[in-house]
Structure 1
């Protein structure tokens, strides 16, 4: 019946993994399952502990990097924060020149400047954000 303790530990590690999502605790769960198998085969407690440690380390060193690489390669990159505003339309609040100005973007007032070579954009003009440079939106007139 001691193998049930190892299975219980594996379940606890798996639940913790669900909260962390970093492929570490699931490797501990694999080690606990290996120790449970060792217990089922009649191994002594010290052997079970060694099986747990060795299996966990092997999984962390071999399987985790592969899983992380696979996840990064197959997960589309979603723009966040300021980067997510590129391509959105905005309204000019205060005339925007190549040096300065203000726009209303996603309900917030941003400092802005027009793309180089663009004429000044009057208040009320609809513009498209082409780049975020620090805290300044670089805009062009919407076509």
Structure 2
């Protein structure tokens, strides 16, 4: 029984898919996609040289294009800020006079102690301020 070339390519694709699942290395998936492209080439009647060239070209192209994109996505910080980081940059309303030594603001529906970033600056009740930092339980505002 003579197995056709496209079947061998699909067996190779499955063989490359197994380490992809086991190791979670996306490069194996890209090589498996190259093997599928080789199978398609074989199914369309391409000779062995063309099949290998298509396999190499598709695999290298995927690795060259997808891998850097995936690396950038992995290294980017999540856009969703939480905790104290989510409060920085928000606006608050002064409840009790805020100066360089202290005061009270309403920030994100909660009452916070606050102090002015510039010790000479004074904010009166009712004014809008921006939170630039959080130190402990005190919001630093401008």
TM-score relative to the length of structure 1: 0.49
Task: Please say which structure displays the higher CA radius of gyration.
Answer: 2
